[in-house]
Structure 1
Amino acid sequence: MSAPVPHTAPDPLERERAHLSSSRSALRAMRADVESLDIKDVTANWVNAAVLQSQIEDRITALADLAHTPLFFGRLDYLHAPGAEQAEGAEGEQFYIGRRHVHDADGDPMVIDWRAPVSQPFYRASKKQPMDVRLRRRFGYTGGELTAYEDEDLTDAAGDEHASRLLQSEIERPRVGPMRDIVATIQPEQDEIVRAGIGGSVCVQGAPGTGKTAVGLHRVAYLLYAHRERLARTGTLVIGPNRSFLQYIEQVLPALGELNVAQATVDDLVAHVEVRGTDTAAAARVKGDARMAEVLRRAVRSGVTMPVDPVVVVRGSRRWRVPAYEIEEMVRELLARDIRYGAARDALPQRIAHAVLVRMEEAGEAPDDRVQDAVARNAAVKSAVKSVWPQVDPAKLVLRLLSDAEFLAAHAEGILDAEEQAEILWDKPARGVKSAKWSAADAVLVDEAADLVARTPSLGHVVLDEAQDLSPMQYRAVGRRCTTGSATILGDLAQGTTPWATSSWPEALTHLGKPEATVEELTMGFRVPREVIAYASRLLPTIAPGLAEATSVREAAGDFTVRAVQPSELDAAVLDACVSALAKEGSIGLIAADARIAALADVLTAAGLPFLSPGEETSAEARLTLVPATLAKGLEYDYVVLDEPSAVVSGEPDERTGLRRLYVALTRAVSGLTVVHAAPLPGQLG
């Protein structure tokens, strides 16, 4: 008789790899099921068929298995079945937490979406509050392959809380390419914001590296999960400061399976006219002031006049007369209601027509709604409305306001002083809307005027990033896109680099139309090394005295060097720093004052170093990006070489704005920062 073969328990890592393999197979089967759908006999017409086919294609795309994106990153072992009574001896369930839901052929879940309620303890549970979780397991991946796991026993209340090595490793992992999601590393304070209800708006004041942009994007993904039907009807929008920033973040939501979220800049939202001109800082500040809203309101209504003649409507052999005083009462009542100009203009002919119908009924006739509509379209009524309440073209109105001193003075009286009026008037009046050299601030004024005429459609949810840089009028432009929806506002007062940058969130939220929004502050940094954030924070007492200094949880100290050179050695020293950074893993950003970009481009080209522009995706062949300081906001690089800080400061209209721009540039580094300077550093940096 042969000896029994000893039983050996399977390796836990191999079990997890087997589950990963099975989950990937299940995901492929889910996608195959959608691809095999036959809709030719399902829809009533070609329009419905096209819509359904588009939805199917989106679903197929959302179910793609991304080879280098882990399908799940964690596991929860519950003490009891979630939602069930906690009976003694009841066995808990086990859930794998990932970027999307995956089920097997029987419909049983193999991976739970990170947004599901049952996944929440993965981010919130602790030894003090285990949330009925026995064990939390994190997984480590290398190139898409599951290579490690780490367990945390939450039932041991007496044990110490230890930082997760895998979590720390994921946070500090070098990055190449666009911004990635943070579903595996969301922290409890971030998760509270992500899962905030759709009914309220949230403002996140976040220091550099605290993940505020990622939090905002993940909140969109969460809201789409929790309120998909509602947001499918009303729409969602992410607003960023510039195109480079939007390119940098554009892969985050698709990686989470969300494909139908629009992205835009504020300039995109207000693109009623072609922007070809620029303003002085003083002119832009006045045009962006909230007082301009009242100037425009007055100007829009300025064409309304009181009637002097009655309206006589001829129908068949009868003539119906509405006297001028009665029409004047209608006009004054509509003005007093303060409804939109276009809506009031549309209501006036119906009011006149109703007055005619009253006279018809008094004469014994029995007119119905069709008669009222016919009277409202009568030539005499239309002529009277055109005379009393003329149509307004928003662009033409703003054109006149900015080029006609008398017209501006009449409507800015008591609001803008003479100096402010002179500041925003154009030197040379344009001959027409198309020939005008509109500025970005002018386009916002046109948008305000357009909303005074006709209501701007509202979306279900709007995310506004780098919000500290908006003017009050820009806040109003964004706010009218979510009047009936909610908003997530993201920013950092210390990084405000426009002449009109906001000084407080309550003020900004009031302009946005969301004064009731909750303000949350994130001060715990996850990306910027301790030494770098501490160095940059030396600027805070000058640029944002009321803000708390950010801290960093990163264990890695990071590479941090400040190197002083002679002016003749500056270009060579910057080049040397870039070459040294390229010898390491990850992305490299060379940040410099805008005026220095052309010269540095020549230096890099002469040295044979390929480089990219902000927003372009890095690759193995090109990991160096040449970044003008004005476009650095919101971007991150593993290693940053900062050229001549004093030039960054002097490139702005005033020292405070310049120091804020420098603060932004200093805090773009994830793993290391090298500052190279020939001119003296700002005194605040010591």
Structure 2
Amino acid sequence: MREDAQSLDIKDVTANWVNAAVLGFQIEERIKALADLSHTPLFFGRLDYLHTVGGEYAEGAEGDRFYIGRRHVHDANGDPMVIDWRAPVSQPFYRASRKDPLDVALRRRFGYTAGDLTAYEDEHLSDPTEAAQTSRLLQTEIERPRVGPMRDIVATIQPEQDEIVRSDLSGSVCVQGGPGTGKTAVGLHRVAYLLYAHRERLARTGTLVIGPNASFLHYIEQVLPALGELDVRQSTVDALVGGAVDVRGTDEAAAAVIKGDARMAEVLRRALRSHVSMPTEPVVVVRGSRRWRVPAYEVEELVTQLLARDMRYGAAHDALPQRIAHAVLVRMEEAGEAPDDRVQDAVARNPAVKAAVKAVWPLVDPAKLVLRLLSDPEFLAAHAEGLLTEDEQRTILWAKPARSLRSVKWSPADAVLIDEAGDLIARTHSLGHVVLDEAQDLSPMQYRAVGRRCSTGSATVLGDLAQGTTPWATGSWAEALRHLGKSEAVVEELTAGFRVPREVIAYASLLLPAISPGLAEVESVRESPGSLSVRSVRSVGSVGSVGSVRSVGEADDGGGAAGSGAGDLADLDAAVVVACVESLEHEGSTGLIAADARIPALAAALDAAGLAYLSPGEETTAESRLTLVPASLAKGLEYDYVVLDEPAAVVAGEPDERTGLRRLYVALTRAVSGLIVLHAAPVPEALRPV
């Protein structure tokens, strides 16, 4: 197939150089999509149907057989050899069961090691004498070591995940899923499926994947290319809205919460509309020897009509000169003239009309509007009346107003406000589909910013309410979807865990009553005895020594020493190094997760021990399988083994205890095979043995 694409001679089929360039680009993209991927087999399953798909065989005749893979593969004659996993005929590979075999006689799974076929496993779904068994190959694939970027789950998609993946483009979906339930993978595979089912439409309208940070996007960036999709844009919310200004500043948590509140949208709308003023003078248009006069009251009526229509500010600004020009044309017709559209356009460009529009409905720069709101107490008070309290207004006002736009140190929350103001002036371009991951951490204003990007399209919203770690984290999906403009979205919940071992997720779930009461606990399908070790480290007076090491359930006095002195921290650093070495003895990746404030000390300890380490998002290499991860960047990442340093410090690093416990919940659930928790200070009360 690659050779066929490479052999195409575009000179014989194109009429000009433009067509040749377009076709040449398309052929290059086709060749890229057909490239072999190392360790990625073309097929992973086989379906043997009882009958012909789309028809019926005579009784006793053999049905169709299909090999299922990541892409469609045909032979030299064009006959299919491998069927794309997204095709309708492939769906029973994920949905068929003994209770409902979907006309499948046999489902075969293939196992691979480093790209080589090493095993296969058959399920005779229509044989009532064969007992149902858990797929060994499925379990092996799920538990395969995590080295490098996130990989696709196309061979292991579960029925409840497949239902979400294949849901229709016309509807938006919100997926609530705890750690390890595969919600991120489901969202990415949904994009791949929609591009397969609606390729022409989405090629015109575009798709976008939004993640929480650049490290996360780097981690997931290979999933869609592995599925043959190369043209899906990825971004963070900050990058999405930050193009208009240079973001160099930060906000205190209290100010960021208010700036992210949905009430700010109305404040901005009021402030923008305040620039409109009613005319006090008539508009007099001179054409040749004639003067045409539109009285002030008539212009006022036109302005009032535009305000009542609640058009976007910029569209109304463009419409007003045409409305005034039309009023002039009416007078021309009454005087016996016969003006046409060209005359109306000429009148709309008349200096008198342009001057009147500039005075009545002036153009507004969105950044300047936000600058004035945040630096002018009187202007803010006038437009926040009844919306923000005086204390809230003081909280978001800049203590030292900027002298000009260039000198402003805009914060991420300011950039979202500017984006909102920009949309009030001119409509934001809408895409066909947007995937929003880790959505629980967005503010209402950020939801609005994302919603503008899919106002005429659909969205896949992914998140876990228990992992909300921002001061403005959403309290419910109903509220979040309302701000997103997708109140009609269907909320699906994934509760089966495939990544985090049962012992680890059960330990982390002890925090749920404190961080998200009522949320269903993830039920892990993975049995992994000994996957959790909680160790209390106490100083014994010698630097670098490891004090008492206790397994989970054995910690006394609230789970550790009364506090963390210099000796305790030195011992803790040494114990962390020992735990990292222990974890690296296993195959796969190791993540050392710690409070952001602890990262420099742990980096120094690793350097002193001669342990090479990476930063989040960097590729695992032969030189290092260890990544040093600040707790603030851990969300969405996964490692085979995790060493978690000082839970109390992770909690203390956040503005409040609940947010800190949520951050800890995230850190505790990054492990795929094993978790070691080390602490010198007491662990949070919820994690202490009863």
Query: Can you list the C-alpha shifts for 1:312-344, whole angstroms capped at 9, x where unaligned?
Result: 111122111111111101100000100100000
Q: Does 2:497 match 1:497?
A: no
Count of aligned pairs: 657
Deviation of 1:48 after TM superposition, in Å, equals: 3.6
In structure 2, what is the Cα distance between the partners aligned to 1:117 and 1:252?
Answer: 21
SS in 1 for 2:192: helix
- Contact kept, 8 Å, 1:281 with 1:499, in 2: the verdict is yes
SS in 1 for 2:619: coil
Deviation of 1:363 after TM superposition, in Å, equals: 1.5
In structure 1, what is the Cα distance between the partners aligned to 2:341 and 2:59?
Answer: 71
SS in 1 for 2:10: coil
- Contact kept, 8 Å, 2:503 with 2:528, in 1: the verdict is no
Query: Can you list the C-alpha shifts for 1:273-304, whole angstroms capped at 9, x where unaligned?
Result: 11111111100000000000000000111110
Q: Does 2:106 match 1:135?
A: yes
- Contact kept, 8 Å, 1:171 with 1:527, in 2: the verdict is yes
In structure 2, what is the Cα distance between the partners aligned to 1:551 and 1:72?
Answer: 30
SS in 2 for 1:141: strand
Structure 1 residues 434 and 549: CA distance shift in structure 2, 3 A: same
The aligned counterpart of 1:515 is 487
Q: Does 2:124 match 1:172?
A: no
In structure 2, what is the Cα distance between the partners aligned to 1:43 and 1:367?
Answer: 46
AA of the residue aligned to 1:416: L
Q: Which of 62, 68, 88 matches 2:39?
A: 68
Report % sequence identity. Answer: 81
In structure 1, what is the Cα distance between the partners aligned to 2:58 and 2:259?
Answer: 66
Deviation of 1:386 after TM superposition, in Å, equals: 0.5
The aligned counterpart of 2:498 is 526
Structure 1 residue runs without a partner (length 5+): 1-29
In structure 1, what is the Cα distance between the partners aligned to 2:610 and 2:293?
Answer: 85
Q: Does 2:190 match 1:219?
A: yes
The aligned counterpart of 2:97 is 126
Deviation of 1:266 after TM superposition, in Å, equals: 0.2
Q: Which of 614, 627, 647 matches 1:612?
A: 614
Q: Does 2:124 match 1:153?
A: yes
- Contact kept, 8 Å, 1:613 with 1:625, in 2: the verdict is yes
In structure 2, what is the Cα distance between the partners aligned to 1:157 and 1:352?
Answer: 80
In structure 2, what is the Cα distance between the partners aligned to 1:124 and 1:463?
Answer: 24
AA of the residue aligned to 1:341: Y
The aligned counterpart of 1:17 is none
In structure 1, what is the Cα distance between the partners aligned to 2:145 and 2:625?
Answer: 12
In structure 1, what is the Cα distance between the partners aligned to 2:482 and 2:57?
Answer: 47
Q: Does 2:84 match 1:82?
A: no
Alignment of 1:198-347 (within 5 A): 198-271=169-242, 272-347=244-319
In structure 2, what is the Cα distance between the partners aligned to 1:319 and 1:183?
Answer: 73
Deviation of 1:559 after TM superposition, in Å, equals: 2.1
Deviation of 1:358 after TM superposition, in Å, equals: 1.2
SS in 2 for 1:584: coil
In structure 1, what is the Cα distance between the partners aligned to 2:598 and 2:405?
Answer: 36
- Contact kept, 8 Å, 2:50 with 2:64, in 1: the verdict is yes
In structure 2, what is the Cα distance between the partners aligned to 1:489 and 1:134?
Answer: 36
The aligned counterpart of 1:370 is 342
The aligned counterpart of 2:410 is 438
SS in 2 for 1:574: helix
Q: Which of 441, 447, 450 matches 2:422?
A: 450
- Contact kept, 8 Å, 1:460 with 1:486, in 2: the verdict is yes
Deviation of 1:495 after TM superposition, in Å, equals: 0.1
Q: Does 2:669 match 1:667?
A: yes
In structure 1, what is the Cα distance between the partners aligned to 2:61 and 2:673?
Answer: 47
Tell me which moved more, 79-88 or 474-483. 79-88
Tell me which moved more, 82-91 or 457-466. 82-91
In structure 2, what is the Cα distance between the partners aligned to 1:675 and 1:301?
Answer: 56
Alignment of 1:607-646 (within 5 A): 607-646=609-648
In structure 2, what is the Cα distance between the partners aligned to 1:311 and 1:41?
Answer: 62
Q: Which of 535, 538, 541 matches 1:563?
A: 535
In structure 2, what is the Cα distance between the partners aligned to 1:422 and 1:579?
Answer: 51
In structure 2, what is the Cα distance between the partners aligned to 1:128 and 1:189?
Answer: 15
- Contact kept, 8 Å, 2:57 with 2:63, in 1: the verdict is no
In structure 2, what is the Cα distance between the partners aligned to 1:647 and 1:157?
Answer: 56
Consecutive aligned runs of 4 or more in structure 1 exceeding 4 Å deviation: none
Tell me which moved more, 52-61 or 285-294. 52-61
The aligned counterpart of 1:104 is 75
Deviation of 1:45 after TM superposition, in Å, equals: 4.2
AA of the residue aligned to 1:97: I
Deviation of 1:360 after TM superposition, in Å, equals: 1.3
Q: Which of 21, 28, 32 matches 1:57?
A: 28
Query: Can you list the C-alpha shifts for 1:469-515, whole angstroms capped at 9, x where unaligned?
Result: 00000000000000000000000000000000001000000000000
Deviation of 1:621 after TM superposition, in Å, equals: 1.5
In structure 2, what is the Cα distance between the partners aligned to 1:445 and 1:45?
Answer: 47
Structure 2 residue runs without a partner (length 5+): 539-567
- Contact kept, 8 Å, 2:95 with 2:159, in 1: the verdict is yes
Deviation of 1:41 after TM superposition, in Å, equals: 4.7
Q: Does 2:470 match 1:468?
A: no
Structure 1 residues 558 and 366: CA distance shift in structure 2, 3 A: farther
The aligned counterpart of 1:599 is 601
TM-score by length of 1: 0.95
AA of the residue aligned to 1:136: R
In structure 2, what is the Cα distance between the partners aligned to 1:321 and 1:347?
Answer: 19
TM-score by length of 2: 0.94
Q: Which of 60, 64, 73 matches 1:93?
A: 64
- Contact kept, 8 Å, 1:128 with 1:157, in 2: the verdict is no
In structure 2, what is the Cα distance between the partners aligned to 1:252 and 1:60?
Answer: 18
Structure 1 residues 158 and 291: CA distance shift in structure 2, 3 A: farther
AA of the residue aligned to 1:412: A
In structure 1, what is the Cα distance between the partners aligned to 2:238 and 2:303?
Answer: 36
Deviation of 1:635 after TM superposition, in Å, equals: 0.1
SS in 1 for 2:11: coil
In structure 2, what is the Cα distance between the partners aligned to 1:214 and 1:370?
Answer: 56
- Contact kept, 8 Å, 1:558 with 1:671, in 2: the verdict is no
SS in 2 for 1:40: helix
AA of the residue aligned to 1:318: R
The aligned counterpart of 1:481 is 453
Structure 1 residues 360 and 592: CA distance shift in structure 2, 3 A: same
In structure 2, what is the Cα distance between the partners aligned to 1:44 and 1:545?
Answer: 66
Q: Does 2:417 match 1:415?
A: no
Query: Can you list the C-alpha shifts for 1:615-652, whole angstroms capped at 9, x where unaligned?
Result: 00102221000000000000000000000000000000
In structure 1, what is the Cα distance between the partners aligned to 2:609 and 2:21?
Answer: 53
Q: Which of 320, 326, 333 matches 1:348?
A: 320
AA of the residue aligned to 1:646: A
Q: Does 2:543 match 1:541?
A: no
Deviation of 1:46 after TM superposition, in Å, equals: 3.7
SS in 1 for 2:617: coil
In structure 1, what is the Cα distance between the partners aligned to 2:515 and 2:489?
Answer: 25
Structure 1 residues 433 and 42: CA distance shift in structure 2, 3 A: farther
AA of the residue aligned to 1:395: A
Q: Which of 191, 211, 235 matches 2:162?
A: 191
The aligned counterpart of 1:685 is 687
In structure 1, what is the Cα distance between the partners aligned to 2:386 and 2:584?
Answer: 59
* CA-atom RMSD in angstroms: 1.0
AA of the residue aligned to 1:392: V
